[in-house]
C-alpha cells in the first residue's frame, strides 16, 4: 500500500517517543556548543514548515535558555539582516536539506563569523555542507512532500535541544528538567487519541467542510505558528485561499473580510489569549455559520457537534504539538474528498525554474 500523509500522521507518536528516549545522545552536541561558546543570541532561519516549527518553539527557547532568540526567513536574513557577530549562532532548518535560500543564509552567517549549524533530517543534504555543525532530526524519511511528522519532529527536536542545553548550562535544575520531560511524554502519549478525535470531528462536519472556498485560521502565542502551519498545509493540499492570523492582528482589519461563506478556525489554547478568542468566537457566530472552535478543555460555549475538544491538560509551551494535528487531518481528509491527487505535482517545473530547492 502506498504511503500517504495519513501514514506519517499516525507515525508521529512513535517517532516523537523515540526522540525522547534518545535525547541524551541526539541533542548533547547542541548543548556542548552552547556551553563552550559565549553566545548571546540564537537565530533560526528557515522556510515553510521549518520556519513554523522554529516560530512555535521560540518562546520556550527564550524562556528556558535565557537568551535572545530570533526566527528569520532566509531571504530577509540574506539581504536585510545586518547585526551579526561571533556571539550569534545561526541555525538553518531544512528537513530535506535542499532549501537553497536557507543554504545561502548559512553561507552568509559563516562569512560574518557566526557559529553555524544545520538542523535537518537528511545527513547527506546540501545544507550540511554549508554549516560548521550538523544536528540530525531522527524522524526517518517522509516521502510525501507535505510534511506532517517532519513538522512535529522538528518542533520536538527544538524542545529537546533547549532542555538538554538548559540542563548542561545550569539554566534549569534536574527537577524542572524532569517535570518538562514528563509533560512532553504525557502529551506525546495522547497524540493517537487526538488523531482519532480529529477524524471523528471531520466526519461530523464533512459535508459542510467540503464546501469551504475561503478559510481563515486564528491563533496566539506559540499557536500563532500553528495557525501558520495549518494554513500552509491546507494551501498545499486543498489548494484554496487560506489565511492565518495572530489573534489581536486579526481583529484590527482582517475581520472585515468575513462574510457568511467564510470558514474560520479558532485555536483556543490555554494562555493569555484564551478568553479573548472565546469572545471572538461568540461574536463570529452571528457573522458566519462556519466558525469552528478547537480547544483542549471543556468550555460552556463548546458545541459538541461542531467544535473539537482534544482533551489535554498540557502546558501552552508544548501545545503546538497537539493543536497542529486537527489541521493535518483536515488537510488530508479534505483533499481526499475533493479528489486531489497529492502524488501529482501541480506545477512540476516550479522548484527547478525558480531554483528554490536542490537535491
Give the pLDDT confidence of 1-34 residue by residue, as tens digits.
678 999 999 999 999 999 999 887 778 889 999 9
On whether both 99 and 237 belong to a single domain, the answer is: no
- H or E element at residue 71: strand 68-72
Phi and psi of 85, rounded to 5°? -150, 175
From CA 203, how far away is CA 188, in angstroms rounded? 24
Q: What is the dihedral of CA 58, 247, 75, 42, to 10 degrees?
A: -10
Q: Does residue 196 form part of some domain?
A: yes
Asked if the model's pLDDT at residue 98 lies above 80, the reply is yes
pLDDT exceeds 90 at position 291: yes
Residue 55: pLDDT above 80? Answer: yes
Give yes or no: residues 138 and 251 share one domain: no
Task: Quote the radius of gyration of the chain (alpha carbons, Å).
Answer: 20
Q: Are 165 and 230 part of one and the same domain?
A: no
Among 128, 154, 189, which residue terminates a domain?
Answer: 189
Residue with cell 512513535: 14
pLDDT of residue 336: 95
What is the CATH classification number for the domain harbouring 159? 3.40.50.10490
How far is 159 from 170, CA to CA, in rounded Å? 16
Domain boundary among 145, 162, 189: 189
Instruction: Give yes or no: residues 244 and 110 share one domain.
Output: no
CA distance 93 to 76: 15
235 in the same domain as 107: no
The band of 42, judged by pLDDT with boundaries at 50, 70 and 90, is: very high
Residue span of the structural domain in which 279 resides:
192-337
The verdict on 203 and 172 lying in the same domain is: no
Q: What is the pLDDT of residue 1?
A: 62
* Together in a domain, 108 and 222: no
Structure confidence by residue, pLDDT tens digits, 268-280: 999 999 999 999 9
Per the prediction, the chain carries an average pLDDT of: 94
Q: Of 28-32, 98-102, 328-332, which range is least confident?
A: 28-32
CA 198 → CA 191, 192, 204, 223, 259, distances in Å? 10, 10, 10, 17, 26
Amino acid at each position: 500500500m502506498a504511503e500517504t500523509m495519513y501514514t506519517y500522521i499516525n507515525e508521529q507518536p512513535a517517532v516523537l517517543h523515540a526522540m525522547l528516549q534518545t535525547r541524551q545522545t541526539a541533542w548533547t552536541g547542541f548543548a556542548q556548543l552552547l556551553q563552550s561558546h559565549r553566545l548571546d543570541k540564537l537565530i533560526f532561519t528557515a522556510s515553510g514548515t521549518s520556519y513554523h516549527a522554529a516560530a512555535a518553539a521560540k518562546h520556550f527557547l527564550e524562556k528556558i535558555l535565557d537568551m535572545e532568540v530570533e526566527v528569520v526567513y532566509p531571504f530577509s536574513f540574506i539581504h536585510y539582516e545586518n547585526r551579526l557577530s561571533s556571539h550569534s549562532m545561526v541555525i538553518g532548518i531544512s528537513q530535506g536539506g535542499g532549501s537553497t535560500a536557507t543554504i545561502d543564509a548559512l553561507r552568509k552567517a559563516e562569512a560574518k563569523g557566526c557559529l553555524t549549524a544545520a538542523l535537518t533530517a537528511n545527513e547527506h543534504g546540501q545544507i550540511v555542507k554549508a554549516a560548521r555543525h550538523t544536528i540530525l532530526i531522527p524522524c526517518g524519511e517522509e516521502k510525501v512532500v507535505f510534511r506532517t511528522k517532519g513538522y512535529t519532529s522538528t518542533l520536538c527536536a527544538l524542545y529537546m535541544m533547549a532542555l538538554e542545553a538548559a540542563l548542561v548550562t545550569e539554566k534549569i535544575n534536574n527537577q524542572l528538567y524532569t517535570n518538562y520531560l514528563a509533560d512532553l511524554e504525557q502529551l506525546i502519549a495522547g497524540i493517537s487519541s487526538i488523531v482519532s478525535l480529529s477524524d471523528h470531528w471531520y466526519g461530523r462536519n464533512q459535508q459542510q467542510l467540503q464546501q469551504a472556498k475561503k478559510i481563515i485560521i486564528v491563533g496566539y502565542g506559540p499557536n500563532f505558528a500553528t495557525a501558520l502551519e495549518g494554513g500552509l498545509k491546507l494551501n498545499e493540499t486543498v489548494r484554496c485561499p487560506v489565511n492565518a492570523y495572530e489573534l489581536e492582528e486579526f481583529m484590527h482589519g482582517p475581520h472585515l473580510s468575513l462574510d457568511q461563506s467564510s470558514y474560520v478556525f479558532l485555536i483556543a489554547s490555554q494562555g493569555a489569549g484564551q478568553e479573548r478568542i472565546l469572545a471572538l468566537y461568540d461574536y463570529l457566530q452571528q457573522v458566519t455559520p462556519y466558525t469552528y472552535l478547537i480547544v483542549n478543555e471543556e468550555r460552556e460555549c463548546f458545541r459538541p457537534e461542531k467544535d473539537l475538544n482534544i482533551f489535554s491538560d498540557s502546558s501552552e509551551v508544548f501545545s503546538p504539538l497537539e493543536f497542529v494535528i486537527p489541521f493535518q487531518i483536515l488537510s488530508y481528509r479534505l483533499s481526499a474528498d475533493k479528489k486531489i491527487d497529492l502524488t501529482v505535482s501541480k506545477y512540476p517545473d516550479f522548484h527547478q525554474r525558480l531554483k528554490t530547492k536542490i537535491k
